[in-house]
Structure 1
Amino acid sequence: MKIPVYLKNNVKNYEEKDFAIMTICSQTGNDLLEVWYYGDFFMVSGEERNYIVGTDSAPEKIVAKDPETNEEILIFDGTVHGYDNMFCDVYTEEQINDRELKKLDIPASQLILELGYSIDYEDEKDDYDFDENGEVILVNGNKMSWDDVVLNGFDYLALSYIDKNGKKIQFVDCELA
């Protein structure tokens, strides 16, 4: 299964089609979650809802919160998750830390996460920098195991919620490579 390491305990209803598709849930299994975010809104023609995007000063951040237990689940941090944020883009401490979250104006809902994995890591393995312990050195200087790089280095992310009528409404769409 292609699930980012940081989400491995917060996924159910996993399936693989063109993308890895999963429902986000809390540790207790609750899948009716609030959405908290940092970012701006971008109007996409033909879509029912504006999309969350980064601001001029920092990338977007999306957190789900279980209203029953207050557990917070980091779904996407545009400073560290995905291929570009692991190997290309560098952010300041201010850009990383100064992103106050706001609650999205939807009720607690099922959240559907879709991830794209089209990078052939094995074919490009020689292009990465490794330390003496075999860990991959990321652009920010952090280190990660090869297996974690393959799971966390997705190149596409979409996030949707299921509204009260059972309709899937997308509100995040990120190309990450």
Structure 2
Amino acid sequence: MGLFSLFAKPRPANTDNKIAGPTFLEGITAHIDQPKNLHPREWRRKLRTAEGNEWFRIWFYGHQLNGRDPLVVATDAAPVLMYAEDVETGRHILLFDGARHGYSVLFGPSFARDQAEESRPLTHCFSDGYGNNAFRVTLSALYSVDHEMVFPISTGTRNPALKEGRTELNAMKRNAFGAFHVSLINKNGESITVLSEELV
């Protein structure tokens, strides 16, 4: 055993670090055992339905880059929209909406809501270099902003900074993450990052 291994921080048993995570993913995720490089302010889970299904097709609106990780990014017209489709049931699950999710949208100038709905058809289904279009999905949200410092109001009150003004503070904080990532694992066990959004 080397000197550095004596002082190495032990890997956590799973991703249960008491961070609540996004409200729109509640009840459809599961912990990841032995996670690597889990940030103290990171929420990380695998997508899993109540029925236990873990294989999904990924539908998106956006521009897909070429490269080792073929990231989906916003177009000149509109932000990214990404859904997962359960291969067993056909159910569609919202993974990320660049017009609604993240710190910069909740506290800064936002994309027009009606325009976002009309201009972002989910016409693209992701496939990897092997032609696979069904994947296991890993989701990560990083909470890099201290919301109490930026927007100091008491828990349970309404948030006037939100465009609709109806979201309670706790829910707002859970959806105002500073970064969001979606990684896919194909049937060969290879990981592919398809979404990496910096939202501060």
**Residue type of the alignment partner of 2:150:** E
* Cα separation, 2, equivalents of 1:143 and 1:11: 26
Q: Structure 1 residue 6 and structure 2 residue 24: aligned?
A: yes
> Paired residue for 1:97?
118
Structure 2 counterpart SS, 1:84? helix
Deviation at 1:122, TM superposition (A): 2.0
* Cα separation, 2, equivalents of 1:29 and 1:137: 38
Deviation at 1:3, TM superposition (A): 1.6
* Cα separation, 2, equivalents of 1:25 and 1:138: 33
CA displacement 1:4-24 (0-9 Å, x = unmatched): 111111111256921221101
* TM-score of the two chains, using structure 2 as the length reference: 0.77
* Cα separation, 2, equivalents of 1:51 and 1:91: 21
* Cα separation, 1, equivalents of 2:88 and 2:160: 38
* Cα separation, 2, equivalents of 1:116 and 1:142: 24
* Cα separation, 1, equivalents of 2:118 and 2:31: 32
Question: Any unmatched runs of 5+ in structure 2?
Answer: 1-18
**Residue type of the alignment partner of 1:56:** D
**Residue type of the alignment partner of 1:68:** E
Counterparts of residues 21-100 of structure 1 (less than 5 Å): 21-43=44-66, 47-92=67-112, 93-100=114-121
* Cα separation, 2, equivalents of 1:29 and 1:97: 33
Go from structure 1 to structure 2 and tell me whether the alpha carbon gap of 1:75 and 1:54 turns closer, same or farther (over 3 Å shift).
same
**Contact 1:82–1:152, Cα closer than 8 Å, also in 2:** yes
> Paired residue for 2:186?
163
CA displacement 1:125-175 (0-9 Å, x = unmatched): 33x7x9xx8211244234211111111110101111012221211111100
* Cα separation, 1, equivalents of 2:83 and 2:160: 26
Which is strand-richer, 1 or 2? 1
Structure 2 counterpart SS, 1:64? strand
* TM-score of the two chains, using structure 1 as the length reference: 0.87
**Contact 1:25–1:33, Cα closer than 8 Å, also in 2:** no
**Contact 1:90–1:139, Cα closer than 8 Å, also in 2:** no
Structure 1 counterpart SS, 2:79? coil
**Residue type of the alignment partner of 1:176:** L
* Number of residue equivalences: 170
* Cα separation, 1, equivalents of 2:95 and 2:48: 11
Structure 1 counterpart SS, 2:60? strand
**Residue type of the alignment partner of 2:169:** W
* Cα separation, 1, equivalents of 2:85 and 2:109: 27
How large is the RMSD of aligned CA atoms in angstroms?
Answer: 2.0
Structure 1 counterpart SS, 2:59? strand
Q: Structure 1 residue 20 and structure 2 residue 40: aligned?
A: no
The percentage of counterpart residues that share the same residue type is 25
Larger Rg computed on CA atoms:
2
